[in-house]
Chains A and B, each alone.
Chain A
Amino acid sequence: MEIKDIIKPENIVYKKTKLFTDKPLSYCPGCGHGTTHRLILEVIEEMNIQSETIGICPVGCSVLAYEFMDIDMQEASHGRAPALATAVKRLMPDKFVFTYQGDGDLAAIGTCETIHACNRGENFTIIFINNGIYGMTGGQMAPTTIPGMKTSTCPYGRDVKIMGNPLKITELVAQLPGTYFVTRQAVHTPNAVRKAKKAIRKAFEYQKLNKGISFVEIVSNCNSGWKMTPNQANKWMEDNMFAFFPLGDIKVPQLEKV
């Protein structure tokens, strides 16, 4: 039996979503970006909203996300994705709009945009990748670098007395009246991937209700920036990142609590 004999419709249990372009991903092996991209695209495919979705890319490792996603996309300047999304959604309220942002983009340079879009109660989805480091520029300290963590701009570990505290922006936006659904997920194990996909699906579904921002944080790794193997990075993330950024829903719609 050869491989071609195995590739039959009845044997296929998993395949690449057709909303992925054929462009090879530019992410490092082991990085959570690719998995998160796939989950978003699977949700868009399953909801059959490709023709109604507009995505906004950030500046950072995922600056080229539009190369991989077969949907209409806009490239924002650093931190401003929520401003773009605000306009897109207000001008086309029937469309599905999401931003895809890293921690530097969303929680440092774009803090103002994040807070105000969330507070106004805009009606789009924010996917927030938090790996505690600036990946693309070569591993500098991020607003979410946890105390003691080493980066190229805190090579002896983040000393909060000097560098200040990391920012738990997800807990912060959950306090705002304009957010409807706020959750923190991960994509490093099959179980985590399944939960994250459910959260992303909910986030997109909630746009139909017109009740405010749906905000999904994905705590992810950066094995290159962290100077670890992918396995070491995932282990380190579980032991350290999850302790500081605990996974789970932070704000859920009132109806669902019952």
Chain B
Amino acid sequence: MGELRLMKGNEAIAEAAIRAGTDAYFGYPITPQSEVIEYLMEHKPYETTGMVVLQAESEIDAINMCYGGASCGRMVMTSSSSPGISLKMEGISYLAGAELPALILNCVRGGPGLGDIQPSQGDYFQATKGGGHGDYRLYVLAPSSVQEMCDFVKTGFKMAFKYLNPCMILSDGAIGQMMEKVELFDPVRRRTPEEIEKQCPWATIGKKTNRERNIITSLILDPYEQEKHVKKLKAKYDRMQNEDVLFEKIQCDDAEFVIVAYGSSARISQKAVDIARSQGIKLGLFRPITLFPFPSKELNKLSKQLKGALSVELNTGQMVEDVKLAVECKIPVYHFGRYGGVIHTPDEILNVIKSKFIGV
């Protein structure tokens, strides 16, 4: 059993970063995720593990520092919230284009624009459909507990290095700010320069005489070569779909209806499922954990037994498009959202289930 602590989601992710052997964190303050850099600065991992922690001059520079560090084969991380993530999108596109691993936390808040600082899932499209310019995808993990905020640091880095692609943890203001019990994993030491050189032969760490120079770039001017490159990227995204889809099914075995929800919406929806079950309604919860790759095959399989699905999101209807595609429109799929930082109540979710599917 690992060490137990009561922590905020944002603190848990910072502690997990230190314990995972992260080489560098570059950040810029923005509510509701500033606790990440505050925790790191308070705990000074640069004095213990040697992890670099730097408050950059902007979100743009934090992500570009990640690009520089990732180019050296290092485990690098940044975090921000919606408006700041928009600023990072250029850099994220470059990371994807140059095939670099990095971990990015988006603690989503209400928007568009400056919006507010309350929980939202308005950045689903941005996270899962590209977000920055060009033809790329991120590996997107959606934690629904403080425990997952901690654990997904390890998962995220593993996937970022497996695919040499940026990984995003798509959290929200609720998961980032709430306190829960968390079981911390045991610290892993940072890799040595020799281990990094072996693991990342592409890293720009100084050209040794025994190899060609390493170049990190996303510039390929010949369109036929660029096409080859994009094909290579696409093959990685297809491989993610085949090998690394994550999801959770709750009370789905005999379900006639399901709620599809992720992150904090899934937490609230789970309560709605419990109430429904107590009233004899066969409702289940299907929780995508990876939003890209989306668990389409698994949801499709489940849909054969269903009479309907409700996508519960803190937005005006974004994931619902992927849900409809997954079930190939063979069952009715509805969306129920609260927006702008307002969250659902379990009762109102259950009322929608009843009115849409049961006719009550």
Contact = CB atoms under 8 A, between A and B. Distances in A.
Contacts of B23: 91
A40 to B, nearest CB: 14
Contacts of A95: 205-206
Nearest to B219: A75
B218 A75 contact: yes
Interface string A83-122: 1111110111001000000000000000011001000000
Interface stretch (B55-63, B257-265, B321-329): B55-63
Given A90-B54, A95-B206, A83 B68 contact: yes
A77 B24 contact: no
Size class of the B contact interface (CB-based, 8 Å): 35 or more
B64 A73 contact: no
Nearest to B56: A83
B218 A51 contact: no
Interface stretch (B11-19, B35-43, B116-124, B209-217): B209-217
Interface string B28-71: 00000000000000000000000010101110111011111101
Size class of the A contact interface (CB-based, 8 Å): 20 to 34
Nearest to B221: A64
A18 B138 CA distance: 40
Contact of A91 (B74, B208, B217): B74
A70 interface: yes
Contacts, number: 122
B205 A92 contact: yes
Kindly name the residue among A57, A66, A84 whose own CB sees the greatest number of chain B CB atoms within 10 A.
A84
Kindly name the residue among B62, B193, B207 whose own CB sees the greatest number of chain A CB atoms within 10 A.
B207
Interface string A61-76: 0011010011111111
Interface in B197-250: 204-209, 213-219
Contacts of A86: 54, 61, 65, 68
A210 to B, nearest CB: 15
Nearest to B207: A72
B316 to A, nearest CB: 32
Contacts of B217: 57, 66, 74-75
A87 B205 contact: no
Given A77-B91, A91-B23, A95-B205, A84 B68 contact: yes
B72 A75 contact: no
A108 to B, nearest CB: 14
Contact of B205 (A72, A112, A113): A72
A87 B68 contact: yes
A66 B68 CA distance: 15
Contact of B61 (A66, A71, A116): A116
Given A75-B98, A80-B61, A90-B24, A50 B67 contact: no
A11 B233 CA distance: 52
B274 interface: no
B72 A88 contact: yes
A54 interface: yes
A254 B257 CA distance: 76
B90 interface: yes
Contact of A112 (B58, B91, B206, B208): B58
Interface in A212-226: none
B334 interface: no
A18 B312 CA distance: 62
Kindly name the residue among A52, A69, A74, A95 whose own CB sees the greatest number of chain B CB atoms within 10 A.
A74
A35 interface: no
Contacts of A50: 206-207
Nearest to A97: B68
Interface string B72-83: 101010000000
Nearest to B50: A91
Contacts of A51: 206-209
Contacts of B72: 54, 87-88, 91-92
A34 B91 CA distance: 29
Contacts of B207: 50-51, 53, 70-72
Contacts of B76: 87
A76 B69 CA distance: 12
A18 B31 CA distance: 52
A56 interface: yes
B194 to A, nearest CB: 13
Interface string B108-143: 000000000000000000000000000000000000
B94 interface: yes
Given A74-B215, A76-B64, A80-B60, 12 more contacts: A63-B219, A70-B207, A74-B216, A76-B68, A77-B94, A80-B61, A83-B67, A85-B68, A87-B64, A112-B60, A116-B56, A116-B57
4 nearest A-B pairs in the assembled complex, by CB-CB distance: A84-B68, A87-B68, A75-B217, A83-B64
6 contacts: A54-B205, A71-B207, A76-B64, A76-B67, A88-B68, A91-B74
